[in-house]
Amino acid sequence: MPMIRIAGLGKDRSQGGSVFTLEVPAFSVEPGELVAVVGASGCGKSTLLDMLALVMAPTRAETFHFHAVEADPEHDIRRLWRLGDEASLAALRRDHLGYVLQTGGLLPFLSVRENIELSSRIRGCGAPGRRLHELTERLGLEGCLDRMPCALSVGQRQRVAIARALVHAPRLVLADEPTAAVDKARARAVMADLEALARDEGVAVVLVTHDVDLVKGHADRTYTFDVMQTSENATRSTCYPLQEGAAA
């Protein structure tokens, strides 16, 4: 069963007299899968990611189901938003989601170890000793734990951000342009890390990027956008699956 199952999802946004409409006819993510969402700035990538992160309510949705744990029933996200059940949405975010920000998002006044432990401590789980050791060893960070973020390279900071997103064992990791601040070689390394972690841990990863070439050979499936100016002040963007070998 898919972890994320979406049909007929839409979001309308207005600003300064202009209207932007995002339509997502169908979108799904399986456990252990890396799904890429690619497109130019302003196409709706971040809007889609915010809805997947359960921090933005869709304007409409035929189906929006999240099946975090195999033994549990699906969560009807459309229903939770309609009921205004912020407590349940917050619990899903806390227990099952991890997030990798474009710039890493590390707190400069905390050590690498403290940054990685942060998500577990917020959940009241205490220090994730064994899990932290496994992740930092895998990502080549075991010698950096007592350093401050300012003492790390850009690539190391992104790997710390990945470790922080995964340390509380989420089922879904959302990565917002995680390679934007690194060079091509480091970007490929970050992609390889995310792909391997998805495979080995059964975590679903949704990665947003503007670089379609970067995800080739890593993503199981790729979605992109068809953007149309429907009137002088209205734009509609439709998310659709990119066929293998097609150009974005």
Q: Which pLDDT does position 210 carry in this prediction?
A: 87
Binning pLDDT at 50, 70 and 90, where does residue 88 land? very high
User: Structure tokens of 80?
Assistant: 């939770």
Q: For 53, phi and psi rounded to 5 degrees?
A: -80, 0
Mean pLDDT computed over 69-94: 93
Query: What CA–CA distance (Å, rounded) separates 119 from 163?
Result: 10
What does CATH list as the number for 4-105+171-241? 3.40.50.300
User: Structure tokens of 122?
Assistant: 């917020």
Q: What angle do CA 34, 101, 119 make, to 5 degrees?
A: 90
| Cβ-contact 78, 58 below 8 angstroms | yes
Q: Helix 184-201 and helix 154-166: axis angle, to 10°?
A: 20
> Would you state the torsion angle of the CA atoms of residues 46, 52, 56, 59, taken in this order, to the nearest 10 degrees?
100
DSSP codes joined into one string, 112-158:
HHHHHHHHHHHTT----HHHHHHHHHHTT-TT-TTS-GGGS-HHHHH
Residue 107 one-letter amino acid: L
Mean pLDDT computed over 101-123: 82
Binning pLDDT at 50, 70 and 90, where does residue 248 land? very low
> Would you state the torsion angle of the CA atoms of residues 163, 164, 166, 167, taken in this order, to the nearest 10 degrees?
100
Mean pLDDT computed over 42-62: 95
pTM: 0.86
Mean pLDDT computed over 36-51: 94
Query: What CA–CA distance (Å, rounded) separates 72 from 208?
Result: 28
Mean pLDDT computed over 145-170: 87
Specify the long-range contacts of residues 232-237, CB closer than 8 Å, at least 24 apart.
Answer: 233/17, 233/18, 233/19, 234/18, 234/19, 234/20, 234/21, 235/18, 235/19, 235/20, 235/21, 236/20, 236/21, 236/23, 237/20, 237/21, 237/22, 237/23, 237/43, 237/44
Strand partners for 60 = 10
Domain ranges of the chain: 4-105+171-241
